[in-house]
Structure 1
Amino acid sequence: MPQASVSLRPASARCAFALSTLSLAVLLGACGGGGGGDPAASTQGFSSGPISGFGSIIVNGIRYEDGSASVIDDEGDSVSRSSDDPLQLGVVVEVVGRVNDDGISGTASRFEVRSGLKGPVEAKNSLTDTLTVLGTPVRVTATTIYQGVSGFAGLVAGSDGQVVEVHGLPGADGTLVATRIELESPSVSAYGGDYRVRGSLSGLAGTAPSQTFRVGAVDVRTDALTRLNGSLVEGALVSVRLAKTPVAGVYTASRVQLKTRGFARDDRYDRAEIEGLVTAFTSINSFEVNGYPVTTSDTTVFEDGRSGVVLGARVDVDGTVVNGVLQARKVELDRFDSGESGDDRDGDDRDDAPFEFKGVASAVSGTASAGTFVVRGQSIDYDSRTVFRDGLSAASFSGVNVEVDAVSDSSSGAGTRFLAVRIERKN
């Protein structure tokens, strides 16, 4: 399991959410002021969004203890984390567990991975920051995490282009907003695995076991060897594993997993938070985020106003789930979706840095103006604009328990690196 402790959600936003649900005494403890509160009391909770931290698992700003949690992959199988841990930074998951009254910690009972897409990079457009994988448009943002490739510039398209796995947030127009891109193979010809696609089934024809349908732009057929967990129906949400080579443009499915769309009708969670795209919009009082139904009321707080909550907007929604519907307490827009790196570098506003690392600084190497260090196994850079607080300096923070606010850099190397904006002492 990765050891780096990283958070995409700004600390100020986490504390603002705590303010809406906690007493002042508990808030002071959670946000670093006054005496400590007791976070032990908890309620049943649900989160859906990309993983934004490790150590414990952080999703939507909540740090979930994960030692006793089960992990289920997108095909419904239980997964061991001992060798190839699926819970990686940027992977989209659903989390069920308990959320403590401090609003920023809890204990997970189950993680369910929401796989996105695996296949060849067929096309790439540097002007729009998009690529095409198995006919699916994929859009990258400033906070997309890369593994094995030097950012968007390192992706290679073509008839024998790279094979990648893309985790992300689905949009109403069929676009996938990438939260993580992993290089699987430098070329299609060198790749020996299968492809995968997830989405709504359409154009269903034939009789089981020999049926055909489409998922997005991919034509699929089943046969007697295809494993299914139920009967296929038009419009169903499915996760499909595909043989690598199509026949006459049609891919053979080795497995089709029918998935649940949104909450179950009787689902109830005292605390719930979803990060994603608005995938359906009836009105400001009724819309969907990643397929989860949301309602708002006169008491709902719109952190960034109402006008930006439109079809395709990337939002965070906090609230309570009753009878399978998320009743929103708060709705806010995700500013980092539009290409902003967050690198305002004013040294004061935590919202200017989308990533957060916590742990003991080690392997410090460099000068007063530039260098590198490691926090919980994650290499981080600092430079002349990095702000050191609490009496720390480049010469004195080795071995200190620190909190690091950082921006990402995917312009070089075989993956995403991080640059510290602020480094402060953490008790």
Structure 2
Amino acid sequence: MKRNLLYRSIGLTASTLALGILSACGGGAGTSLDVADGGIRGTGSSVGPVSGFGSVFVNGVRFDTSGAELVSNDGVICEPDQNCAQPIEKGMILQVDGEWQDDLTGTAVSVEYDDTFRGTVSGVTQFTDSDGTIVRVEFEILGQRIIADKQTVFSKTTLTGLADGNFVRVSAWPLADGSYRAAFVGVSSAADQVSIGSSLVEIEGSVNELNQNLNTFRINGTVVQYPNTTDVFRDGLVEGDLATFEGPIEVEGEIALINGEEGIDADTIGIGETRRYDGDVDSDIEFVGSVADGYDSGTGTLTVNGLTVIIPSADVLEEGLTLADLIPGRLIQVEGDVISEGQVLAEEVESREVNAEIKGTIGSMLENGFELGGVEIRLTSNTLLSDDDETLSIAQLQTGVGVEVEGIERVVNDSVFVEAVKIEREDVDDPNSFEMEGRLAFMTQDPGYIEVLGVSVRDSEAEYEEAEGSRQSLLDSYSEQVLFVEVEYIRSGEEFVADEIELEED
């Protein structure tokens, strides 16, 4: 089956998720939200998860999609406000070809979506933090291990609700060990599956146990059978490439019994997730992905999504990111130039890995966000808004509203703030009580104050949990290594006072 070109005007209508027009929301002076932005001018490809609509937001850029063609063969055929089985959803990784400006607006020529995996979930394993909260799940689809965490966007299920037997579509980034990190996981009902077409399942991975006499091979232990015809291959692949191709192969087809075992009867075989990032030489590219091979000081490179990224100097690292931070598994955003096939010269690199969390009631409204438990929260056009399965609007983010914010601690010119990655509604019983998790930045020698996420919290009466997380233990080591703590605290007059402080495990 060939990849469909659906010549339709996407024209995604403005909704409460449109983060690029926040200044039009809210009330009078001091209550509206303006989005903090940054970026470079480019012409080429932008590949990343959707963060909002009203046009389409990818990698912080608001792309005008009127007249653009939507490219998909996975049943993703309509705008979010139209009545179809599977519209584009937040979190899905899109490839947008077009141009973008310094003001983070752009014009899309084409918008492409392709599932990374589709199939039935098995082997769900949940992982919890020290409080017993589920923070990560691992599961399989036809033998492929997939990791989802609190940054993953879920549709018709949740991080805690994903279960064996769910039929899902997954949009994900490849990791160095052959597993994948999910940006999006959405459950598809039987009715939803009809829109997908005959190629109901999709997997990708490295080919092994190739048998060209039987027209079979395996991906992650799952047997794949393909017809004796060249029509099954796409993306320039031919049968001979199955033995030599370096990189993931994508297979779409139907579940079938093959030589006595369950496998896939292939309809199409092509290049996997890495093909999204094959930009034209001398074009611009911006993308999000997990570091596969960490930064090599000898070559000045790292690998992400199958690309070799050249880091010319530490000057291209943004928002406090260091070369030492560029380790396998770190989620980053890269902007740069395609200088040869598979090579990108980076111009800007920033972390997209969540390292801060705050729960509580919104305090004062700020120009680019709001104050939450003393922490400055800044919204960008990458921020995702969520209220379970309901839409959360910018206009609802007002003083007195309970929220949970997951984000990235930024330190710019000695100013500390949290760039919000995801904001969810949260029921809060006491408007003066807060919880935060973040980097321990400072401690006084004697019980007095600690500083986390730019907030000074009095800890003289706090209970420190666990021996290795005792105050003296933290004091002895925080200046020599990066420590993260969870703090439960209250607002008392003009200061914040901690009730409990606990060392968070890495």
Q: Aligned-pair RMSD on alpha carbons?
A: 4.0
- Secondary structure class of the residue paired with 1:110: strand
What pairs with 1:151-190 in structure 2 (closer than 5 Å)? 151-157=158-164, 161-185=165-189
Q: Indicate whether 1:89 and 2:117 are aligned.
A: no
Q: Is the 8 A contact 1:65 1:107 kept in 2?
A: yes
CA 1:295–1:353 in 2, change beyond 3 Å: closer, same or farther?
A: closer
Q: What does 1:125-204 align with in structure 2 at a 5 Å threshold?
A: 125-127=125-127, 128-149=136-157, 151-157=158-164, 161-185=165-189, 194-204=200-210
Letter in 1 for 2:324: S
Amino acid at match of 1:185: S
**CA spacing shift, 1:118–1:409, aligned 2, 3 Å:** farther
Change (3 A) 1:123 1:78: closer
Return the index of the structure with the highest Cα Rg. 2
The aligned counterpart of 1:334 is: 352
Residue correspondences, number:
343
Contact residue 342 and residue 353 of structure 1 kept, 8 A = no
- 1:240 aligned residue: 251
1:300 to 308, 311, 316: 316
Question: Equivalences for 1:275-424 in 2 at 5 Å?
Answer: 275-281=288-294, 283-284=296-297, 285-298=300-313, 299-302=315-318, 303-324=320-341, 325-336=343-354, 343=359, 345-346=372-373, 348-350=376-378, 355=383, 375=393, 384-385=400-401, 407-408=423-424
Q: How far is 1:43 from its partner?
A: 4.1
Return the alpha-carbon distance in structure 2 between the equivalents of residues 384 and 332 of structure 1. 32
Distance 1:166 1:341, change over 3 A: farther
1-structure distance, mates of 2:88, 2:197: 23
Letter of the 1:296 counterpart = I
CA, structure 1 residues 60+87, in 2 after alignment: closer, same or farther (shift >3 Å)?
same
Indicate yes or no: 2:96 matched with 1:100: no
Q: Retained in 1: the 8 A contact 2:76–2:88? A: no
Structure 1 residues 181, 262: CA separation in 2 closer, same or farther (over 3 Å shift)?
Answer: closer
**Shift in Å, 1:175:** 1.9
TM-aligned CA deviation for residue 179 of structure 1: 1.4
Letter in 1 for 2:178: G
**SS of residue paired to 1:335:** coil
CA distance in 2, matches of 1:71, 1:173: 32
Kindly tell me: are residues 239 and 6 of structure 1, through their superposed partners in 2, closer, same or farther at Cα, counting changes over 3 Å?
farther
Q: CA deviation at 1:331?
A: 1.8
User: Identity across aligned pairs (percent)?
Assistant: 20
Partner AA of 1:126 in structure 2: Q
Q: Which amino acid aligns with 1:50?
A: P
Q: 1:341 to 1:12 in 2, by over 3 A?
A: farther
Q: Residue 228 in 1 paired to residue 241 in 2?
A: no
- SS for the counterpart of 2:324 is coil
Conserved? CA contact 1:50–1:59, under 8 Å? yes
CA 1:246–1:310 in 2, change beyond 3 Å: closer, same or farther?
farther
Q: Return closer, same or farther for 1:154/1:78 CA change in 2, 3 Å cut-off.
A: closer
* TM-superposition CA deviations, 1:115-173 (whole Å, max 9, x none): 21111111111125222222222211212222222x1222221xxx1211111212121
Query: What pairs with 1:66-81 in structure 2 (closer than 5 Å)?
Result: 66-73=65-72
Secondary structure class of the residue paired with 1:143: coil
Distance change (3 Å), C-alpha of 1:329 and 1:69:
same
Counterpart of 1:348 in 2: which secondary structure? strand
Normalising by structure 2, we get a TM-score of: 0.58
Equivalent pair of 2:19/2:381 in contact (CA under 8 Å): no
Is the aligned partner of 1:267 residue 2:281? yes
Q: Deviations over 1:247-283 (max 9, x none)?
A: 31332112223456475585222x4321111123461
Partners of 1:343 and 1:352 within 8 A in 2: no
Amino acid at match of 1:87: I
- Evaluate the alpha carbon distance shift between residue 162 and residue 381 of structure 1 in structure 2; reply closer, same or farther with a 3 A threshold: farther
Q: Tell me the equivalent position of 2:52.
A: 53
- Higher relative contact order, chain-length normalized (CA < 8 Å, sep 6+): 1
DSSP 3-state at the match of 1:154: coil
- Quick one: distance in 2 between partners of 1:132 and 1:69? 35
Q: Is the 8 A contact 1:14 1:61 kept in 2?
A: no
Quote the offset at 1:57 in angstroms. Answer: 0.8
- Listed as ranges, the gaps of 5+ residues in structure 2 are 1-11, 21-32, 128-135, 361-371, 404-419, 428-506
Change (3 A) 1:223 1:118: same
